[in-house]
Structure 1
Amino acid sequence: MRHDLVIFDCDGVLVDSEPLSNRVLSDNLARYGLNLTLEDTVSLFLGSTMTGVRDKARALGAHLPDDWVDQVYAETYDRLRAGVPLVAGISDLLAALDARALPYCVASNGSPDKMRITLGQNGLWERFRDRMFSAHVLGTAKPDPLLFQTAAAQFDATSPVVIEDSPSGVTAAVRAGMRCLGYVAHGDGANLRALGAEVFHDMAEVPVLLAL
């Protein structure tokens, strides 16, 4: 299948920020009475907005203050500024897309400030700054398909493909009627496959999947 746009998620797809962000979240929630393992945190909150995390954490018994979202963002950004690597193989994949003149963009539930931190320190900010779609700006987040639909419309794309790593992202892509490649660095990805993603485990597989 030939595509005219590749839509990347950011955290966990372009940058390997999920382990660090989830550790910050786990440590923070423990201070408010909700003790979760790192695995629990990933399972419960991967792909969620921070307001969604707040509401779910409160339902699970965390006693969070009114300014908790701002607080946890500040803690997370401080940790991310200390350094976060690119997902293995992303640089080569972007070079392959450039070589074929295949447009790409990023569509994330994360904020522009967060993407400026993570993409900026890895040399990708200039590459994505004019093709960046954030739920914080649009006002609606995955699994709502509008984020991906807005990105496709901006590029006049009729056959976009989404690269995601979270259930909410895969669900958004499927709801938008878009092909979704589900990146799974560890594990079999059965949860993403069940939602409709084509699971892969290495960014080096993507050029073949896209028939470049």
Structure 2
Amino acid sequence: MHDLVIFDCDGVLVDSEPLSNQVLVDNLGRYGLNLTLEDSVGFFLGGTMAGVRDKARDLGADLPDGWIDEIYAETYDRLRQGVNLMPGVSELLTTLDAKGIPFCVASNGSPDKMKITLGQNGVWERFSQVVFSAHVLGTAKPDPTLFLTAAERFGALAPVVIEDSTSGVTAAMRAGMRCLAFVPNGGGEDLAELGAELFTNMAQVPELLGI
């Protein structure tokens, strides 16, 4: 029996990836790098913003020194306009509560971003005391520290990670943890090759966890 569920945030708990990536596409276009939404997801999903900046520069974007603060501000403004929970998340959290299985969120995103996205959907209070952020810990996925820190905090011996990116799955594998990869639109072969078990709907998770 798993004794902790560790959720990624963007693309797992909240449907923020399309919105954030559209902001990124629009912003980078102003700096000479024209990408499609699909390009942006392919290049940047699951990475840190410093990594996005460096990759974008490699691809030809003429980004200023203060670009990271700029893109965060633009992204947060867009997310404040509205972002949905992934379907089935609320029901899954209720099921985990009923079974006495603790859960937390571990993200490369900032606590401020998670408060925006989770707060407007009524679940921030369920995570506010169990947030593990790369911005706070100073180390990001694919480094496993975020997941290992969460497991240690809970004293968990058999945690399971729910992820949607190669960096997140890689971090889970490096942490020696079981990883379920959420692929609501199908695909995910690259995540399976890394060792994740694929699923397409949050309603599948209780059965996958054996609860």
After superposition, give the CA deviation of every residue in 1:77-114 in whole Å (9 maximum; x if it has no partner). Answer: 00000000000100110000000010000000000000
Shift of 1:188: 1.8
Out of 181-190 and 35-44, give the one that drifted further.
Answer: 181-190
Following superposition of structure 1 onto structure 2, how do residues 1-212 of structure 1 map, counting pairs within 5 Å?
2-212=1-211
Q: Which aligned runs of 4 or more in structure 1 are off by greater than 3 angstroms?
A: none
Return the letter of the residue paired with 1:39: E
After superposition, give the CA deviation of every residue in 1:54-79 in whole Å (9 maximum; x if it has no partner). Answer: 01100111000000000000000000
Q: Distance in 1 between matches of 2:201 and 2:161?
A: 15
Q: Distance in 1 between matches of 2:5 and 2:153?
A: 13
Matched position secondary structure for 2:2: coil
Shift of 1:187: 2.6
Return the letter of the residue paired with 1:208: E
- Structure 2 gaps, min length 5: none
Q: Tell me the percent identity.
A: 73
The alignment yields a C-alpha RMSD, in angstroms, of 0.5
- Structure 1 gaps, min length 5: none
Could you tell me the TM-score, scaled by structure 1's length?
A: 0.99
